[in-house]
Structures are given as structure tokens and as C-alpha cells.
Amino acid sequence: MSLKYITPAERFKKYLPKDYVELVDYGPFGKTQDEAGPGNMGQFKELMEEHPMCSGCWMAYYIRLIFASLPQPEETVTLGTAGCGRLAISQAAVPFIYGNYGDQNAMASGLTRAFRLRFPDKHKDVITIAGDGGTMDIGFSMTMHSWIRGEKFTTIMLDNEVYGNTGGQESGMSPKGAILKMAPLGKKGEKMPATDLAKAAGCVYTVRMSPTNIKKAAKIIRRAIFVAREVGPTFIHAYTSCNIEYSIPTEDVFADAKEKEKTRFQFEEYMTDEAKAVIERVEAEEKAAKRAKKAEVV
Amino acid sequence: MDASQRPQLDKKKADINYILKEAPREQHFITGAQAMAEAVKRANVDMAIAYPITPQSEVMHLVGDIYAQGHIKEYYRAEEELGTMSAIAGAARAGVRLFTATSGPGLLRGLEAIVSWSGHRVPAVLGILTRVVNAPLSIQPDNIEMAYMMHCGAVMLHAENQQDTFDYTLAAFAITEKVDVYIPVAVATEGFFVTHAKGYVDMTADDICLNDFDPVAAPVPAMDNETPPARIQRDAPVQKSNFMSYLIHSVWQQEIWDSNKRAMKYIYEYLGGPIEVQNPEADVFVLGSGCAAAQCREAHRYAQEDGLSVGFVKVKAIRPFPTQEIRDALKNAKAVIVPEHNIIGWLCKEVKAAIPNGGIVVEGPRVYGGMTLPVELIMKEIHTALGLEYDLKL
Ligand code: SF4
């Protein structure tokens, strides 16, 4: 229904902004990943194109990747909080709710439950996308409790290990010893063990990663969303460097992300048996559909 | 079991006008907390979210009970008040009818979310069962938190007793959902004095409930991707330029306060107006809201018995504030006594600002921290205003 709703009537197409028509014709609404997923980023119209974030911001890249990976953007609602990320998220062609400081997971709890009440026969994907400050500091209680209550939505933490938007203060996710604003002598405490906390709080699928591999990162995002629909809370802890506050030259951003992959952001994927069953089923279905399509073409 | 799979009670759905004005009623002797929950039961609420700041009231426990009985589709205990109020804001985006209640410190903890409800056009009903906020702490009633609520754009009603609590709460659902209002409505009443005490309440049968919530009849569409017109970035801050951001904020805020004003016609429709006036020709008036109104009413009765020229004004709506109505009611008054259950006298300040001759307002008597308001204190002020002696014996 909603897909039909965003699709313009043929005869009105010529009056609509070209951008919009192209998004519907070539963008990912109603399409498979093969047709319009991240593999085609740049070739097809994306849900998020321009963004107002710093040039070379690794977070902006990953946010684009999230939008390009959505299983059904036409049925997705994103929620966020203050931070650089929301500047981009709010400009994407997917509904976005900007709440109060760090309350994205509490809002998502209400939203997900209300969606299930109103649309019991549909999957409405709800995703919170917030920084390390919003997810693990100011929003910590609301993040943890949404997991403890088993709320069925995906939490994505854009961990740049600093408060980028407010000018570079230490966060709970900054590494120990980092000299940052408000940590003039270096951060005293350890980086918070986010994925361990998520597991302990009941997340059924958690991943920690530095998203250097587009295909793999997209697969993880989709897995998290599919599992959240059916089983319970899912969490992706992704490294998205702040090249401004950590002084990473734009040309070195990727190398830095690669480097972090070997240390603090070593790939770690955890899933419960129930989550695994969903992933295996969905991915087998996708493969079968792909094979069938190939056969059709031949 | 998913909330949507729970069996629904077979209730007759009706219009608010029928429920409030025509449906047969039966008298019950119940607490204010029960009266609020009974109203919620009849409001056909989709979702209630609770946080236990007891013992100010048991409203949200009782709402849990009526959820268990099937009168409400979804209910859960949130992590704390900010989480509760944020979850209400989230659920509202999906287009459902919502209720929660809190008081005192809980209201302040949730205030960051609550103050954004109006701007987000959240059509929710909030029960405020007043309770001490300031140190030294007490768990007794004191309605100072209403002062903090007064500037967030929400419509605010102040119930005098158990009957008001029932009627105002039901009416609140109708008011908040009007397309030309569509901002939250708070129904406040005093913790303990009303919430824990029993009073007579004429109630409609509980197998009749309000018509279903209609998410399409809204000035801003729900975020359900189903409700046209599409609005992709419903709540994103405007980032184009600071100037645009200021401009849009101010235009939007003006619209919120206009929505608040537009609620007045529904306050007339459902509550018979924002104020109640008795003995309009009097020289001296006692004016109050909530529990203080009950004490003013009593003082007015004593004064009548004594043949004194005393009138009574009860203020039902705090927001929109009935400026013109109060001005009209007090146009010939020589003195207005405003007793209150808080130290700062927020109602008194509003009345002073509303009338051209604010100097006639007598500030107080005020009690706070959970004290009751003796009628004798009001009588003393009445006598003083009339130039009479009064032997105050407490
Ligand atoms: S401040 Fe850092 S996180 Fe924010 S946009 Fe710039 S590089 Fe990205």
C-alpha cells in the first residue's frame, strides 16, 4: 500500500520534481538488493544523496550504506537524536523522527508496539540510528531497557568515539587515555563494552564491526533488521570515525577504519539459535529468488 | 502474545457528546484515582505506558488492571518517566490513542519529552496527580509542578473532585483529538486529597466506550507510511540556515499556542465553559482551581449563610487561560481572594495579569507540602476584605 502511495501517477510525473521521479524509478523503493542495493550505490538513485556532514566523514558513508541496505525502505521508520548523524538521516527519503536527547530507543519502543497494534499483518521496520553519546551515555537507560524489554527493533550505534557534533568531548565509548575536551588529562575509564552489554540485556543479534566491506556491512544491517522483525532486539556497533575531532585526513579515513578493524573493532557477530534460524531462512529465500530470476532470464 | 492478538471486549462505541451528555449514569463511591482510571476505561485507549511513581496515586496500577481486563490493547511499565514520555511520543507517531499519568518529581523527570509533545502534535492525555517537588521532600500533594507545565503548550484542566476527574479525563481525549487542537491535554488533580479519597461519581456504563481513534483525522499525518500526505521529515529540525530555523520555530510555536486557544470552544462544549461563577454581583470573590476551589466553594457557602456579599469563581481550564471570562466575572469586584495549594501562587499571578485592576487580588491563603487548606483561613481573608473582624480559630 505505501509503495503504491509513493509512486506517482504516470500523467503527473512530468510535473513532479525530477529528483523525486528518479528516486521512485531508480531508487530502492520496492526493489531487491540486487536491483538497487549498496552494490549499485552511485549507479542508481539512492535514498540519501547529499548530506551536510564534514567532507570525508566516515559516519556519513555508513549512514548511506544503512539506507541503501534497508530491506523495505517504503515500510521503514528511523529514529535518531542530537548529533552529526541526524543531519544526514533527516535528509534521507525515509521517515525520520527526531526526539529528545538520547530517547530514540524509548520512542522506538512506543512506535514499534503501536505499529504492531495497527498493522498486525505487516512488517514495519523500526531502526534507531544514533551516536555513541546518544546510545551509550545520555540514552543509556533507555537503550538498555528497550533491550531488556525485548522490543523488536534494530539499534545501530554510530561509534565515532567522541561527541563530534558538540565539539569533541570524551564519551563513554572513547578509548581509555584519549585526550579530548573534558578529558584534558586523558580519559580515565575504559571504553564501554557495548556488545557485551547488549548481549547481557537480551539482544538476540549483535555485531561489532568497522564497516570497511560494503557487501558484508550491508548483509549485517539486513540480518539485524530481519531478526528484529521476528525475534527481538538487535544491535550493530559500528565504527564510524570522526575525522575532524580525531584529525584523520580525508584520504586516510578508510585506512583508519581498516586499522580499527584489527583492534577495537574486530569483527564479532553473535546470534541466538532463534535469530540464526531466521537468518538462514531469509537468506535461503533470497538465494532461491535470485536463482529463479536467473533461470527466467536464461 | 502480541497485543493485537489479545481478545477485545465487545463494547458499544459512541460519540463523546453521547457519552458525556446523554448516556445514562450510575452513582459510584470511588477514589479520584479510580475515577481517572474509569474514564480511561471508557476512552477506548489503544496504549498506556506507566512508570510507578507511587504513592501519589494508583492511577497507572488501575490502568494496568483495566488493560488486563481487555479495555486497553497495549500497556507496559517503562524504565522511568523520560522513557515513558518519550515512548508516548513515539507511539503517537504510529497513530494510536494514548494515556499516561505522573506527578511531582516524575513530571519533572519527563518534562523534556512532555514539553516537546505539543510541537510534535502528540494527541495524548496526561494525568497529573499533584505531589511535592521541592526540597525538603514530602510525598504529599502540592500543585507546584503545574506551574512548570503551564508553558509547554498543552491544554491543562484542573479537577476539583472525583467527579471532575472522571468527566475532564474523558473530555480530554475528545479535545486532544480535535483536528484544530491536536496538542496534548493534561488533567490535573490533587494527589491524596482527591486521588486517595472517595467521592460520589456519576459514571456511564463501562460497556460503552469512545469511538476508535482516527489517525487520518490529524493536522500532521502519522509516521506509518500509510497515511497521506507523505511527510518524510516530520520532525527534523530545520537546518537550512539559522534564520530559517528561527523562523520556522517561531511560526510553529505560534501555531501551537493558537491550537491551545482553539481548545477553548471545546472546553465550553464539554465542560460547560472554563470557569464556574456563583453570586456574580458580589463585592468580594473567592477564586480557586482544583482542591482549592472546593475550599473556596465551602467558604462561599459559609459567607452566604452569614449574609456576606461574596462570590465564587472556579477555574477549570488553566490552559487556555480564561482571561476574558475572569475579567468579565470580576469586573465589579472590590477584592479577589486566591487560595492555592502551592507556595508561589501561580494561579494568583495569572489572575492578576488577566484583570486590569490586579491590585484587588489578595495573594493567598496558600498551603503547601501536603497541608490541607482550612476554610477558616479563607474566611479570615473574606472578612478582612470586607473590613470586618474575624476571630481565626484553627
Ligand atoms: S564532526 Fe566528525 S562525526 Fe561529525 S560530521 Fe564531522 S567528521 Fe563526521
pLDDT tens-digit series, residues B9-36: 889 999 999 999 999 999 999 999 999 9
At A208-255, the pLDDT tens digits run: 999 999 999 999 999 999 999 999 999 999 999 999 999 999 999 999
Three-state SS for B202? strand
Q: Would the pLDDT of B241 be above 70? A: no
> In this predicted structure, which of A57-71, B181-195, B232-246 has the lowest mean pLDDT?
B232-246
Structural contact between residues B125 and B294, judged by C-beta atoms closer than 8 angstroms: no
Average pLDDT over residues B32-56: 92
In angstroms, the CA B226 to CA A122 distance is: 12
Our answer on whether the CB atom of A248 is closer than 6 Å to any ligand 1 atom is no
Q: Nearest CA to CA, how far is B76 from chain A (Å)? A: 9
CB–CB contact B93 A97 (8 Å): yes
pLDDT for B269 = 97
Give the DSSP letter of residue B218.
Answer: S
Ligand 1 lined by A59 (C-beta under 6 Å): yes
User: Which among A109, A123, A149, A155 is the top mutation candidate for probing chain B, defined by the most B β-carbons within 10 Å of its own β-carbon?
Assistant: A109
The pLDDT of residue A8:
85
Q: Whose CA is nearest to atom 8 of ligand 1?
A: A57
Distance (angstroms) between ligand 1 centre and the Cα of A165 equals 7
| Nearest of A214, A96, A32 to residue B236 by alpha carbon | A96
Cβ B165 vs Cβ B189: under 8 Å: yes
pLDDT given at position B66: 95
Which positions of chain A have pLDDT values less than 70?
A: 1, 298
User: Which residues of chain A lie closer than 8 angstroms to B215, CB-CB?
Assistant: 118
In chain B, % of residues over pLDDT 70: 95
Residue environment code for A261-288, b if the CB has 16+ CB neighbours within 10 A, otherwise e: beeebeeeebbbeebeebbeebeeebee
| % pLDDT > 90, chain B | 83
Query: Hey, which of A51, A161, A244, A250 would you mutate to test ligand 1's pocket, going by the most ligand atoms within 8 Å of its Cβ?
Result: A244
User: Nearest-CA residue of chain B relative to A230?
Assistant: B2
| Whether the Cβ atoms of residue B314 and residue B276 lie closer than 8 Å to each other | yes
Write out chain B residues lying below 8 Å of A230, CB-based.
none
Mutate which of A50, A62, A84 for ligand 1 pocket (most atoms within 8 A of beta carbon): A84
Average pLDDT, integer, range B328-347: 97
Q: Are A231 and A278 in contact (CB under 8 A)?
A: yes
Q: What is the pLDDT of residue B246?
A: 78
Using a CB–CB cut-off of 8 Å, the residues of B that contact A are 2-5, 46-47, 49, 73-74, 76, 78-80, 82-84, 86-96, 112-113, 116, 215, 223-226, 228, 230-237, 239
Give residue-wise pLDDT tens across range B349-392: 999 999 999 999 999 999 999 899 999 999 999 999 999 999 98
Nearest to A207 by CA among A189, A191, A192, A219: A219
**pTM confidence score:** 0.95
CB distance A117–B3 less than 8 Å?
yes
Residues of A with CB below 8 A from B116's CB?
99-100
More confident position, B203 or B223: B203
Closest alpha carbon within chain B to A81: B236
Distances (CA, A) of A174 to A54, A136, A143, A250, B187: 20, 11, 18, 21, 44
- How would residue B242 be classed by pLDDT, with cut points 50, 70 and 90? low
Check if the beta carbon of residue A260 is closer than 8 Å to that of residue A252: no
Atom of ligand 1 lying closest to residue A131 CA: 3
pLDDT surpassing 60 at residue B134: yes
Q: Positive or negative, the Cα torsion across A139, A140, A142, A144?
A: positive
Amino acid present at B334: K
Query: The C-alpha cell of A171 is what?
Result: 564519551
At A99 the pLDDT is: 86
CB A73 within 8 A of CB A47: yes
**What pLDDT, on a 0 to 100 scale, did the predictor assign at position A277?**
98
pLDDT at B229: 59
Ligand 1: which of A50, A54, A161, A241 to mutate, judged by most atoms within 8 Å of the beta carbon? A54
For residue A105, the CA-to-ligand 1 centroid distance in Å is: 22
For residue A199, the model assigns a pLDDT of 98
Give B133 to chain A, closest Cα distance, Å.
23
Cis peptide before B136 (omega within 30 of 0): yes
Does B234 sit within 8 Å of A117, measured CB to CB? no
| Residues B373, B347 contacting (CB under 8 angstroms) | no
- A58 CA to centre of ligand 1 in angstroms: 8
Q: What is the ipTM of this complex?
A: 0.94
Contact A117 B78 (CB under 8 A): no
* Interface probe, candidates B2, B51, B93, B118, chain A, greatest A C-beta count within 10 A: B93
Identify the residue whose cell numbers are 564519551. A171
Any ligand 1 atom below 6 A from CB of A244? yes
pLDDT greater than 70 at residue B235: no
* pLDDT classification of B6: cutoffs 50, 70, 90: confident
Chain B CB within 8 Å of residue A86 CB? yes
Does residue B54 have a pLDDT over 70?
A: no
SS3 letters for chain A?
CHHHHHCCCHHHHHHCCHHHHHHHHHCCCCCCHHHHCHHHECCECCCCCCCCCCCCCHHHHHHHHHHHHCCCHHHEEEEECCCHHHHHHCCCCCCEEECCCCCHHHHHHHHHHHHHHHCCCCCCEEEEEEEHHHHHHCCHHHHHHHHHCCCCCEEEEEECCCECCCCCECCCCCCCCCCEECECCCCCCCCCCHHHHHHHHCCCEEEEECCCCHHHHHHHHHHHHHHHHHCCCEEEEEECCCCCCCCCCHHHHHHHHHHHHHCCCCCEEEECHHHHHHHHHHHHHHHHHHHHHHHHHC
Q: Is ligand 1 within 6 A of the CB of residue A23?
A: no
B394 or B315: which leads in pLDDT: B315
pLDDT for residue B42: 98
Residue B138's nearest CA partner among B341, B348, B378 is B341
Distance (Å) from the alpha carbon of B90 to chain A's nearest alpha carbon: 4
Question: Tell me, what's the pLDDT at B238?
Answer: 55
Question: What mean pLDDT do residues B124-134 have?
Answer: 95
Q: Give the confidence band of B111 by pLDDT, cuts at 50, 70, 90.
A: very high
Residue A44: C-alpha distances to residues A37, A60, A62, A181, B382 (Å): 9, 18, 17, 41, 78
Question: Which A residues in the span 106-125 are in contact with B, Cβ-Cβ below 8 Å?
Answer: 106-120, 124
Mean pLDDT, residues B229-255 taken together: 69
